Amino acid sequence: MKASPADAATPVAELLEELDRLRFENESLRTFAYVAAHELSGPARRILMNLQLLEHDDTPEAAAARIDNVRATASQMTRLISDLLTITSLGSSDVATRHVELHPIIEEIASDATEPMSGATVTVEDLGCVQANELLIRRLFANIIDNAVKFSRPATPLDIHVSATREGNMNVVTIADNGIGIGTKDTEAIFEPLVRLHAKSRFPGSGLGLTLARRIARWHGGDVTAAPAESGVGTSVFVTLPVLEEPIDGGCQE
């Protein structure tokens, strides 16, 4: 029995689709590598410059300030390299997952992140359980909440509200803040690697926080998206993760 033309075309179409996907991934990798190299070269130049100037500092105070600059720049490079390594390692299928209860994790992260801030309030509702790697999930939500803290309004106490809804077999966690917010046109740009909407001098960081958060969510079969808050003030970030179908003994223990 001969295969029909439609049957013969299916493998060809799938192959072409896979080739397109690989081309896109290769192009994205080249762009990512170029931008990452550029981001690392800046701190490296600053370290070299400070070390060269250190030879000409006339006082212990000036030398100490120069050394502090080197330490701060080296720490920035370390954070960037750590984020880069985490992003590239997520291609592995060897990362273990288990039942994870989100409420205590997010409450702890938000409490630690906002502790130094006067008047900050954090409300965390019942968020249910997900099937995930706890270490990666902690990193995902820490990056999002750190962003909320970083982009808070200087004269307004930060308010973060975390809630969740069930959509089919997915858990959608919403992290809403009253910070400086984002424009509708920037809702995808904020997830691009090393893309900054504001000056690095005003809002320091690796530029990979939300990129990494989305990558972690997608590794789990979910996603991260964002939108301007409905109130018109702040940002809402939506984290979609696979839900645990049958929590054991009312909790998330395996």
Q: pLDDT at residue 226 above 80?
A: yes
Residue 22 pLDDT grade (very low, low, confident, very high; cuts 50, 70, 90): confident
Its pTM stands at: 0.63
Q: Tens of pLDDT along 165-221?
A: 999 889 999 999 888 767 667 666 777 765 555 444 444 545 677 888 888 888 888
Q: Tens of pLDDT along 40-76?
A: 776 777 788 878 888 777 788 888 888 888 887 787 6
Report pLDDT for 35.
52
Domains 5-89 and 98-242 equal at CATH topology level: no
Which CATH number is 98-242 given? Answer: 3.30.565.10
- Range from 50-59, 161-170, 222-231, 243-252 carrying the lowest mean pLDDT: 243-252
Report pLDDT for 1.
53
Q: Tens of pLDDT along 92-139?
A: 555 677 888 999 998 888 888 777 666 788 888 888 889 888 878 888
Residue 147 pLDDT grade (very low, low, confident, very high; cuts 50, 70, 90): confident
SS (H, E, C) the chain: CCCCHHHHHHHHHHHHHHHHHHHHHHHHHHHHHHHHHHHHHHHHHHHHHHHHHHCCCCCHHHHHHHHHHHHHHHHHHHHHHHHHHHHHHCCCCCCCCEEEEHHHHHHHHHHHHHCCCCCCEEEECCCCEEEECHHHHHHHHHHHHHHHHHCCCCCCCCEEEEEEEEECCEEEEEEEECCCCCCHHHCCHHHCCCCCCCCCCCCCCCCCHHHHHHHHHHHCCCEEEEEECCCCCCEEEEEEEEECCCCECCEECC
Q: pLDDT at residue 36 above 90?
A: no
Report pLDDT for 201.
43
d(CA 83, CA 208): 7
Report pLDDT for 223.
92
* Domain ranges, ordered by start, for the chain: 5-89, 98-242
Candidate CATH numbers 1.10.287.130, 3.40.50.10490, 3.30.70.1450, 1.10.540.10; the one for domain 5-89: 1.10.287.130
Report pLDDT for 193.
63
Report pLDDT for 198.
46
